[in-house]
Structure 1
Amino acid sequence: MQHPATTSALLCLCSIGAFAAQWAGLPLPFLIGPLLVSATIATAGGRLLPEGYGFPNWLRVTFITVIGLIIGAQVTADLFQTLPLLGVSFSALALFVVLSHGFNYAVFRLLGGYDKATAFYSASPGGLFEALAMGEEAGADPARLILQQFLRIILVVTLLPIGLSLWIGAPIGSSAGMTFARDAVPWSSLPLIALAGLAGIVVGHLLRLPARQLTGPMAVAAALSVSDLYHIDMPQWLVNIAQIVVGTALGMRFTGLGPTVILRGARLSFISVGGMLLMAAVFAEALHLFMGEPFDVMLISFAPGGVTEMALVALSLQANPALVTLHHIWRILVTVIGLSLIGRLLRRHL
């Protein structure tokens, strides 16, 4: 049921939450702020929302496309120059994905008591939108799935930058004011951005990509960037709006969850994220000794947080953001392939 006035009011409140999160210095403020506001409203249930209200899916899909474009635009030819030297770290990262996914599955299945589909897709150490899309198709509980996936993101992108900030003694990441977006993008670029997004959606459908509204635009933007045909520069205001819309939409998925379920999910997520970060630290130290790469750079490369935020942290550390970005793109690729292959087997036995 369409409630445009409710959607407009909700987005206004969530925009205020975004700026409040920015003022508080939170990482990914335009995503986390709206998420917290809309999740609070959603958990209040029918007291605040009209009966039968659902956030417009077309609006969510439109702005997920924007996020896909900005992530794909970070893939440049320079990223592949060091590829022959990265076989060891890529192999280690693939092993990390397998081990962390298995560990998380045990946490959610055995400790949390989740059904197989919900536990499997909640356990994904990356590929947020892919896990949500494929999890819903497999019959996972959408509320618990989004709860665990976003708790993973929130904990990693909040605790890791804060911890590194305390270690270094200066703010890092988006809380330091850095971004992949551009403030001076001309309005004349918007039709090209829209065309690339539309092409990405078409490619995603034609190739039947998982979470096609995200991965299709990512593929198109990456192809344009690597081929030097066109580099997509995204205006900051558009990136902010995209994060507000996506954060609001995802927060609304908490509808029907009470405080008891959320607290239980938080306890499980602390165990899950704590275990993953411990594994990431072990892999980072091993690669530091074997490859000579700084420990903190490898830790950021393995931390199962957002691609953009981890790359921003790398920029703050004067590390190689291309190296970090390439690792996270590889992590997402391995995760998505694993979700697709194992997910098919899982659905046969449900």
Structure 2
Amino acid sequence: MPLPSFFRSADYTPRKLGWLAVTLALAFAGGGAAAALGLPVGWLSGALVATAVAALCGAPVGINHHLRMAIYVVLGTSMGSALSPETFKGIATWPFTMVVLLVSVPVMMGAVMAYLEKVAGWDRRSAFFAAAPGALSAVLAMAETSGADTRRVVFGQSLRLFILVALLPAALGGLGHEPAGTLPINPVVPDVTTLVLSLLVGIGGAFLAEKLHFPGGAMVGAMLASGAVHAFGLIEGRLPDLFLIVGFVTLGANAGTRFAGTRLETLRRFFVDALAAFFIATAVAVAFAVLGAWLSGEPLTKVLMAYVPGALEAMTIMAFVLGMDPAFVAAHHLARFLLLALLIPVVARLMFGAAAVPSTDVDLDRTEPKD
């Protein structure tokens, strides 16, 4: 029986290791500078900005898949420490916010797609897949077989994540949310034995979730397993700050390196369109978040974090750092991921028919997109 992907061996060449070291050095420098300035989620956002700039300048920066999966386990394990019996009492309000979220998805996609196709002049296939709010891996796999311009899809999704990670914490602070620091404030594990047990629990949960092909398996599985033992009082405390700093920096670097291979001409052509699409999607998310918060009685900032069109892992980790309920945010982003993964193939088949030839109306950037 094969092992999950993050347990398999990898072929590390000196060149790949060298650029991985450069990537991490840039990310730590950017994250450290942002944290020193006291910026919200500084280690994460600073690393993202530093590596994105390097990527756009042509540097072949990148984060190894195995390192990324290991970091998801570490962060998921620590996020599980934020779960408590009070967390599960709050589940009673989730059906209200879940229903509103699921209604918001087609509205958001329709609004963004209408702009990209009718105003920006994108072909319908590319506009459809670029409008999907998250689930990039699943969306990209479907876009590649539908004739869409995958560079546009990846660029639009990557720019959206970049803006959310860089600016959303400050925006939530403007709405009155506190704290907005660089690291979570819940207590650290009291001793080495508890630290080792916490990691083993997280690894076990991640292993099981990956074997079951659960979306965001490494992080979500580790968070659920860790959350279970914390909710029952078997283990107390999150992982030490050093673990979290490495995790935040690596995650930020991974998001920033999505721009690797993107030419400046590609950036110039797609930037305005993707930026306008982001603001349209965010406006829809805010409107539905206001409705969801009103129906459920939950804080607007918490519901907005669950509704914004960002990646499951990044938004959940941001919620954790900002002192929100990571289980609430993860559950909603996971629900949207599953909805998109299930319905997009059906809708795409109805709209576009069987597999089509790739779009030929644009000069594509032929470099390989980052996933």
Query: Structure 1 length normalisation: TM-score?
Result: 0.76
> What is the one-letter code of the residue matched to 1:199?
G
Q: Distance in 1 between matches of 2:75 and 2:124?
A: 31
The CA RMSD measured in Å over matched residues stands at 3.5
Name which of 75, 79, 82 aligns with 2:87. 79
> What is the one-letter code of the residue matched to 2:46?
G
Q: Distance in 2 between matches of 1:64 and 1:27?
A: 20
SS in 1 for 2:133: coil
Contact 1:161–1:172, Cα closer than 8 Å, also in 2 = no
Counterpart in the other structure of 1:90: 98
Contact 1:42–1:255, Cα closer than 8 Å, also in 2 = yes
Query: Structure 2 length normalisation: TM-score?
Result: 0.72
Q: What's the offset of the Cα at 1:156?
A: 3.2
Q: Distance in 1 between matches of 2:102 and 2:190?
A: 37
Name which of 160, 180, 191 aligns with 2:196. 191
SS in 1 for 2:215: coil
Change (3 A) 1:233 1:161: closer
Q: What's the offset of the Cα at 1:331?
A: 1.8
Name which of 17, 24, 28 aligns with 2:41. 28
Q: What's the offset of the Cα at 1:33?
A: 1.8
Name which of 316, 322, 325 aligns with 1:307. 316
Counterpart in the other structure of 1:113: 122
What is the CA deviation profile of residues 202-234 of structure 1, one whole-angstrom value per residue up to 9, with x for unaligned ones? 212321223433333233233333444445612
Contact 1:285–1:295, Cα closer than 8 Å, also in 2 = yes
Instruction: Say whether 1:203 aligns with 2:220.
Output: no
Q: Distance in 2 between matches of 1:85 and 1:40?
A: 41
Q: Distance in 1 between matches of 2:76 and 2:218?
A: 8
Contact 1:276–1:304, Cα closer than 8 Å, also in 2 = yes
Instruction: Say whether 1:134 aligns with 2:138.
Output: yes
Higher helix share: 1
Change (3 A) 1:270 1:70: farther
| Equivalent runs, 1:194-343 vs 2, <5 Å | 194-231=199-236, 233-287=238-292, 290=295, 295=300, 298-304=303-309, 306-310=315-319, 313=322, 315=323, 321-322=324-325, 325-343=326-344
> What is the one-letter code of the residue matched to 1:60?
R
Aligned residue pairs total 329
What is the CA deviation profile of residues 230-272 of structure 1, one whole-angstrom value per residue up to 9, with x for unaligned ones? 4561221111101212222332332210223234444234323
Q: Distance in 1 between matches of 2:43 and 2:270?
A: 23
Q: What's the offset of the Cα at 1:114?
A: 6.5
Counterpart in the other structure of 1:7: 20
Counting aligned pairs with the same residue, the percent is: 22
Q: What's the offset of the Cα at 1:18?
A: 0.7
Change (3 A) 1:92 1:158: same
Q: Distance in 2 between matches of 1:58 and 1:217?
A: 16
Contact 2:188–2:237, Cα closer than 8 Å, also in 1 = no
Contact 1:181–1:235, Cα closer than 8 Å, also in 2 = no
